[in-house]
Protein backbone atom coordinates (compact mmCIF):
# COMPACT_ATOMS: atom_id res chain seq x y z
CA UNK A 1 0.00 0.00 0.00
CA UNK A 2 1.32 3.46 -0.90
CA UNK A 3 2.35 6.30 1.37
CA UNK A 4 -0.02 9.05 2.44
CA UNK A 5 0.95 12.67 1.93
CA UNK A 6 -0.62 13.52 5.30
CA UNK A 7 1.56 13.56 8.43
CA UNK A 8 0.78 12.02 11.79
CA UNK A 9 -1.46 14.33 13.81
CA UNK A 10 -3.17 14.43 17.20
CA UNK A 11 -6.53 16.19 17.31
CA UNK A 12 -8.73 17.43 20.13
CA UNK A 13 -12.27 17.87 18.92
CA UNK A 14 -14.42 20.91 19.77
CA UNK A 15 -18.22 20.47 19.64
CA UNK A 16 -18.54 21.66 16.03
CA UNK A 17 -16.07 19.02 14.85
CA UNK A 18 -17.78 16.25 16.79
CA UNK A 19 -21.08 17.23 15.19
CA UNK A 20 -19.49 17.23 11.72
CA UNK A 21 -17.98 13.79 12.33
CA UNK A 22 -21.38 12.48 13.42
CA UNK A 23 -22.89 13.78 10.18
CA UNK A 24 -20.14 12.12 8.15
CA UNK A 25 -20.71 8.90 10.07
CA UNK A 26 -24.30 8.81 8.82
CA UNK A 27 -23.01 9.09 5.25
CA UNK A 28 -20.37 6.42 5.81
CA UNK A 29 -22.96 4.05 7.21
CA UNK A 30 -25.13 4.59 4.16
CA UNK A 31 -22.10 3.87 2.00
CA UNK A 32 -21.22 0.77 4.08
CA UNK A 33 -17.66 1.99 4.60
CA UNK A 34 -17.27 1.76 8.39
CA UNK A 35 -16.90 -2.03 8.30
CA UNK A 36 -13.69 -1.55 6.26
CA UNK A 37 -12.07 0.47 9.05
CA UNK A 38 -11.73 -2.29 11.63
CA UNK A 39 -7.94 -2.04 11.46
CA UNK A 40 -7.88 1.76 11.64
CA UNK A 41 -8.78 2.38 15.25
CA UNK A 42 -8.32 6.19 15.21
CA UNK A 43 -10.99 6.57 12.56
CA UNK A 44 -13.30 4.08 14.21
CA UNK A 45 -13.01 6.20 17.36
CA UNK A 46 -13.49 9.49 15.50
CA UNK A 47 -16.51 8.27 13.58
CA UNK A 48 -17.97 6.34 16.50
CA UNK A 49 -21.28 7.10 18.16
CA UNK A 50 -19.60 9.50 20.62
CA UNK A 51 -16.41 11.06 19.22
CA UNK A 52 -14.08 11.85 22.15
CA UNK A 53 -13.10 15.27 23.41
CA UNK A 54 -9.60 14.07 24.36
CA UNK A 55 -6.79 13.84 21.85
CA UNK A 56 -6.89 11.18 19.12
CA UNK A 57 -3.63 10.33 17.35
CA UNK A 58 -3.64 9.44 13.66
CA UNK A 59 -0.50 7.93 12.15
CA UNK A 60 0.63 8.11 8.53
CA UNK A 61 -0.34 4.47 7.94
CA UNK A 62 -3.82 5.18 9.35
CA UNK A 63 -4.28 7.82 6.66
CA UNK A 64 -3.29 5.32 3.97
CA UNK A 65 -5.88 2.76 5.10
CA UNK A 66 -8.54 5.44 5.55
CA UNK A 67 -7.96 6.89 2.08
CA UNK A 68 -8.17 3.41 0.52
CA UNK A 69 -11.43 2.67 2.35
CA UNK A 70 -13.32 5.79 1.31
CA UNK A 71 -12.41 5.35 -2.35
CA UNK A 72 -15.33 2.93 -2.47
CA UNK A 73 -17.94 5.54 -1.58
CA UNK A 74 -20.68 6.27 -4.12
CA UNK A 75 -20.18 9.65 -5.81
CA UNK A 76 -23.22 11.25 -4.20
CA UNK A 77 -22.14 10.15 -0.72
CA UNK A 78 -18.58 11.34 -1.38
CA UNK A 79 -19.81 14.79 -2.37
CA UNK A 80 -21.95 15.12 0.76
CA UNK A 81 -19.00 14.11 2.95
CA UNK A 82 -16.74 16.50 1.04
CA UNK A 83 -19.11 19.40 1.69
CA UNK A 84 -19.11 18.69 5.43
CA UNK A 85 -15.32 18.37 5.56
CA UNK A 86 -14.78 21.49 3.45
CA UNK A 87 -16.89 23.56 5.85
CA UNK A 88 -14.77 22.42 8.81
CA UNK A 89 -11.48 22.89 6.95
CA UNK A 90 -12.39 26.48 6.11
CA UNK A 91 -13.59 27.13 9.67
CA UNK A 92 -10.42 26.09 11.52
CA UNK A 93 -7.01 27.77 11.42
CA UNK A 94 -5.57 25.67 14.25
CA UNK A 95 -2.62 23.60 13.04
CA UNK A 96 -3.75 20.12 14.10
CA UNK A 97 -7.45 20.61 13.34
CA UNK A 98 -6.65 22.22 10.02
CA UNK A 99 -4.32 19.34 9.11
CA UNK A 100 -6.93 16.78 10.15
CA UNK A 101 -9.74 18.30 8.12
CA UNK A 102 -7.40 18.84 5.18
CA UNK A 103 -6.71 15.11 5.17
CA UNK A 104 -10.39 14.20 5.46
CA UNK A 105 -11.31 16.67 2.74
CA UNK A 106 -8.65 15.33 0.39
CA UNK A 107 -9.83 11.77 0.88
CA UNK A 108 -13.39 12.65 -0.12
CA UNK A 109 -12.71 14.08 -3.50
CA UNK A 110 -10.52 17.13 -4.03
CA UNK A 111 -8.32 16.08 -6.93
CA UNK A 112 -4.75 15.84 -5.70
CA UNK A 113 -1.48 16.09 -7.57
CA UNK A 114 1.13 13.37 -7.16
CA UNK A 115 2.80 14.17 -3.80
CA UNK A 116 6.21 14.18 -5.50
CA UNK A 117 5.12 16.84 -7.97
CA UNK A 118 5.29 19.76 -5.54
CA UNK A 119 8.76 18.96 -4.19
CA UNK A 120 10.15 18.50 -7.69
CA UNK A 121 8.51 21.68 -8.93
CA UNK A 122 9.85 23.79 -6.05
CA UNK A 123 13.32 22.29 -6.38
CA UNK A 124 13.61 23.79 -9.87
CA UNK A 125 13.55 27.30 -8.42
CA UNK A 126 15.46 26.89 -5.15
CA UNK A 127 19.07 26.57 -4.16
CA UNK A 128 20.90 26.45 -0.85
CA UNK A 129 21.02 30.24 -0.62
CA UNK A 130 18.10 31.59 -2.63
CA UNK A 131 14.69 31.08 -4.22
CA UNK A 132 13.57 32.60 -7.50
CA UNK A 133 10.03 33.49 -6.44
CA UNK A 134 9.23 35.33 -9.68
CA UNK A 135 10.10 32.38 -11.92
CA UNK A 136 8.23 29.99 -9.64
CA UNK A 137 5.08 32.13 -9.73
CA UNK A 138 5.36 32.45 -13.51
CA UNK A 139 5.68 28.68 -13.90
CA UNK A 140 2.72 28.10 -11.59
CA UNK A 141 0.57 30.31 -13.78
CA UNK A 142 1.84 29.20 -17.19
CA UNK A 143 2.69 25.53 -16.65
CA UNK A 144 0.07 24.49 -14.12
CA UNK A 145 -2.60 26.63 -15.74
CA UNK A 146 -6.08 25.53 -14.69
CA UNK A 147 -4.82 22.44 -12.83
CA UNK A 148 -5.55 23.77 -9.36
CA UNK A 149 -4.60 20.43 -7.80
CA UNK A 150 -0.98 21.10 -8.79
CA UNK A 151 -1.14 24.73 -7.66
CA UNK A 152 -2.63 23.64 -4.33
CA UNK A 153 0.06 21.01 -3.85
CA UNK A 154 2.86 23.52 -4.45
CA UNK A 155 1.48 26.07 -1.99
CA UNK A 156 0.91 23.41 0.65
CA UNK A 157 4.53 22.31 0.31
CA UNK A 158 5.73 25.92 0.40
CA UNK A 159 3.70 26.59 3.53
CA UNK A 160 5.00 23.49 5.29
CA UNK A 161 8.67 23.53 4.31
CA UNK A 162 9.46 26.90 2.68
CA UNK A 163 7.39 29.29 4.77
CA UNK A 164 9.72 32.26 4.26
CA UNK A 165 9.10 32.08 0.50
CA UNK A 166 5.43 31.12 0.47
CA UNK A 167 3.92 34.59 0.91
CA UNK A 168 6.13 36.14 -1.79
CA UNK A 169 5.27 33.40 -4.30
CA UNK A 170 1.58 33.68 -3.40
CA UNK A 171 1.54 37.45 -3.95
CA UNK A 172 3.35 37.16 -7.29
CA UNK A 173 1.07 34.34 -8.46
CA UNK A 174 -2.14 36.12 -7.48
CA UNK A 175 -1.02 39.32 -9.20
CA UNK A 176 -0.54 37.30 -12.40
CA UNK A 177 -4.03 35.86 -12.02
CA UNK A 178 -5.43 39.37 -11.48
CA UNK A 179 -3.60 40.81 -14.48
CA UNK A 180 -4.16 37.98 -16.96
CA UNK A 181 -7.42 36.47 -15.74
CA UNK A 182 -9.01 34.06 -18.19
CA UNK A 183 -9.37 30.32 -17.53
CA UNK A 184 -6.85 30.36 -14.66
CA UNK A 185 -8.87 32.94 -12.75
CA UNK A 186 -12.05 30.98 -13.40
CA UNK A 187 -10.44 27.78 -12.12
CA UNK A 188 -9.10 29.50 -9.00
CA UNK A 189 -12.50 31.02 -8.32
CA UNK A 190 -14.06 27.56 -7.99
CA UNK A 191 -11.41 26.18 -5.59
CA UNK A 192 -12.46 27.49 -2.17
CA UNK A 193 -9.85 25.36 -0.41
CA UNK A 194 -6.99 26.85 -2.43
CA UNK A 195 -8.36 30.35 -1.89
CA UNK A 196 -8.45 29.74 1.88
CA UNK A 197 -4.90 28.37 1.81
CA UNK A 198 -3.60 31.40 -0.10
CA UNK A 199 -5.31 33.80 2.31
CA UNK A 200 -3.75 32.01 5.28
CA UNK A 201 -0.31 32.17 3.69
CA UNK A 202 -0.65 35.89 2.98
CA UNK A 203 -2.14 36.71 6.37
CA UNK A 204 0.58 35.08 8.51
CA UNK A 205 2.97 37.40 10.34
CA UNK A 206 3.31 41.00 9.20
CA UNK A 207 0.97 41.64 6.26
CA UNK A 208 2.19 44.26 3.79
CA UNK A 209 -0.04 46.39 1.53
CA UNK A 210 0.53 44.21 -1.54
CA UNK A 211 -0.45 41.10 0.41
CA UNK A 212 -3.54 42.85 1.78
CA UNK A 213 -4.56 43.75 -1.78
CA UNK A 214 -4.21 40.11 -2.80
CA UNK A 215 -6.32 39.00 0.16
CA UNK A 216 -9.06 41.46 -0.84
CA UNK A 217 -8.96 40.10 -4.38
CA UNK A 218 -9.21 36.50 -3.20
CA UNK A 219 -12.18 37.33 -0.98
CA UNK A 220 -13.92 39.12 -3.86
CA UNK A 221 -13.82 36.31 -6.43
pLDDT over threshold 70, residue 115: no
Please give the radius of gyration of the chain, using alpha carbons only, rounded to the nearest integer: 18
* Residues 120, 216 within the same domain: yes
Q: Is residue 209 part of a domain?
A: yes
Q: Is residue 2 part of a domain?
A: no
* Long-range contacts of the stretch 82-85 (C-beta < 8 A, 24+): 82/108, 82/109, 82/110, 84/20, 84/23, 84/24, 84/27, 85/20, 85/24
Domain that holds residue 203: 115-220
Q: Which of these, 176, 173, 162, 175, lies nearest to 204 by C-alpha position?
A: 162
Dist. CA 17–CA 61, nearest whole Å: 23
Share of the chain above pLDDT 90, in %: 34
pLDDT one-digit tens code per residue, 145-179? 999 989 988 998 898 788 889 999 999 999 999 99
pLDDT one-digit tens code per residue, 18-72? 899 888 888 887 766 666 665 556 887 787 777 666 778 888 888 888 888 787 7
* Residues 67, 121 within the same domain: no
Phi, psi of 107 (to 5 degrees): -65, -25
pLDDT one-digit tens code per residue, 124-153? 999 988 999 999 999 999 999 999 989 988
* Residues 67, 127 within the same domain: no
Q: Is residue 1 part of a domain?
A: no
**What pLDDT, on the 0 to 100 scale, is given for residue 96?**
84
Q: Is residue 166 part of a domain?
A: yes
**What pLDDT, on the 0 to 100 scale, is given for residue 169?**
97
Average pLDDT over every residue of 185-201:
91
Contact (CB, 8 A) for 36 and 72: yes
Amino acid sequence: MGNSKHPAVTVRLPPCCRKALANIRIELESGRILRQLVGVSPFLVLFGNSPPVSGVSIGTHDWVVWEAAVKGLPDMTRRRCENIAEHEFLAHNDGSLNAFWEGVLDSFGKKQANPAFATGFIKRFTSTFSTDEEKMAKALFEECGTDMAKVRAVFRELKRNHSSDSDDVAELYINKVKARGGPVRNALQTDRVLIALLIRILDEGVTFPGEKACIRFLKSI
